[in-house]
Amino acid sequence: MTKTVYVAGVAALCLLGIGLHAIDAHAAGGDWKRGRVYYQKVCTDCHTAKAGGAIAPNARTMADWTAYLNADKHAKGKDSLRNYASREYRASVKGTNKAAEKYADVPDEQLFNDIRSFMLKGAKDGDSPASCN
């Protein structure tokens, strides 16, 4: 009897797991708040130090950002933008960057999607234009 309950529990968990992943696949929107934190604490940290200052989402339009994000060329084409949202990059800076540490295990595609949501939403013609403040 105990065993039955246990097996039923495990089976339920598996189903729940499948459920979660099914929802996950449909979560196209992206978590803009997580995107915001990553953008501010990882992207902007480096831009302030090495790119002559912060780059505000409202500096460009949604169409510009969509093209930029799809092209995946960063810093005047020198490297890949996706690289800076990757788990590999996060692992390399997590000793000194708390956002990279906190989000160390978030799947690449998901985090990139979060950043995309934040940038599009904050674009000049986005739903809620965001400066760097």
Partner 1 sequence: MGVRICSALAIAAMLVAAAAGGADDGASDKVLKSTSDHAKFKVLQQEFASGPEVTRACLTCHTEAARQLQLTQHWKWEFLNPDGRRLGKKSIINNFCTSVASNYAYCTTCHIGYGWKDDRFDFSVQENVDCLICHDTTGNYRKAPGFAGHVVTQETEFPPGSGNRLKPVKLGPIAQEVARTSRDNCGACHFFGGGGDGVKHGDLDSSLASPDKSLDVHMDALGNNFACATCHMTAGHQVPGSRYAPTAVDRGGARLRGKEYKTNPTTCQSCHGQAPHKAGAAKLNDHTDKVACQTCHIPAYARGGVPTKMSWDWSTAGLMGLDGKPMVRKDAKGRVVYTAAKGTFVIAENVVPEYVWFNGRVTYTLLGDRIEKGAQPTRINHFEGSAGDNRSMIWPVKVFRGKQAYDPLYKSLVVTHMAGTDDTAFWTNFNWEKAVAVGMASVGAPFSGKVDFVETESMWPITHMVAPAKDALRCHDCHASGARLEKVAGIYIPGRGSDHSVWLEVIGWALAALALAGALVHGTGRIAAARRRH
Binding site residues, ligand HEC, CB under 6 A = 39, 42-43, 46-47, 50-51, 55, 74-76, 81, 84-85, 115
> How many CB atoms are closer than 10 A to CB 31?
18
Q: Give the C-alpha distances (Å, rounded to integers) separating 124 from 47, 63, 111.
A: 19, 10, 22
Does residue 53 bind partner 1 (CB under 8 A)?
no
CB of 26 to ligand HEC, least distance (A): 24
Encoding tokens for residue 23? 């929802």
- Number of helices followed by number of strands (H, E) in the chain: 7, 0
Spatial distance between the Cα atoms of 111 and 83, rounded to a whole number of angstroms: 11
Does residue 46 bind partner 1 (CB under 8 A)?
no
> At 63, which amino acid appears?
A
Spatial distance between the Cα atoms of 90 and 1, rounded to a whole number of angstroms: 47
Binding mask 17-36 for partner 1 (x = CB under 8 A): x-xxx-xx-xx--xxxxx-x
- Choose among ligand HEC, partner 1, none what residue 106 binds, the Cβ cut-off being 5 to 8 Å by kind: partner 1
Residues at the site binding partner 1, with contacts judged by CB under 8 A: 1-2, 5-6, 9-10, 12-13, 16-17, 19-21, 23-24, 26-27, 30-34, 36-37, 40-41, 98-99, 102, 105-107, 110, 114, 121, 127-128, 133
